[in-house]
Amino acid sequence: MNILESFYGRIESEELEYAENEVALRLKTDRGYTNDLIEKCKAILLENVDCRYSAKRITLNISGNTVDFGGFTVESKELARLLSGCSECYMFGVTLGNRVDFLLKRLSASSLAEHYITDALASALAESAADKAEDIIKENRISTNRFSAGYGDFPLEKQADILALLDAQKLLGITLSKTYLMTPQKSITAVFGVKNN
């Protein structure tokens, strides 16, 4: 595997923003809708966020529907199409941290309404964290959209290879269950390509 660059960092909770569309989608409300309970949940969630990211810029080769990342290959028509024309890509992971999981567990026992709202907000915030990490990582390079294991025909089983490449257990505290679910729950991994000039 040819690793060209490695990244690791933290994103302070003040730097994270809730995307209105994502929040509305997750809460099943109108865009911009809020009330005192939602605002309370937003504040408590941000107090518990420990957002970190890790990434690698690596070379890749594509042959048909096989994407070769050097250390492992992926059979995926959709991923091959997305990365077509790219000789490099970024693999990255981002997490809101274990304290968010602990918060959700506490709320599930004390308030189902607060648990539902906070869980939805945390999912939206994880997407925003992924957007922020992606912007930091790629700087001004032209890139493809990101694509995650488990979407389309990108096998979820490849999550293990991605996390190993990112040294995610050590750097981000992310572990993987036998069914390929990540802990902390509000974690995202993805791949995006760098467009050749």
- Per-residue tokens: 168: 């995610």
Domain CATH for 59: 3.40.109.40
Specify the pLDDT at position 20: 85
Which structural domain range is residue 109 located in? 3-195
Q: What is the mean pLDDT of each run of 10 residues along the chain (197 residues)?
A: 90 90 90 91 96 96 94 95 94 97 97 96 95 92 94 95 96 95 97 82
Domain total for the chain?
A: 1
Across 9-21, b (16+ Cβ under 10 Å) vs e yields eebebeebebeee
pLDDT at 117: 96
**What is the model's pLDDT at position 131?**
94
Supply 149's token pair.
């294991």
Short-list 85, 89, 91, 63, CA closest to 76: 63
* Tokens read off for 3: 């690793």
Query: Does the predicted TM-score (pTM) go above 0.85?
Result: yes
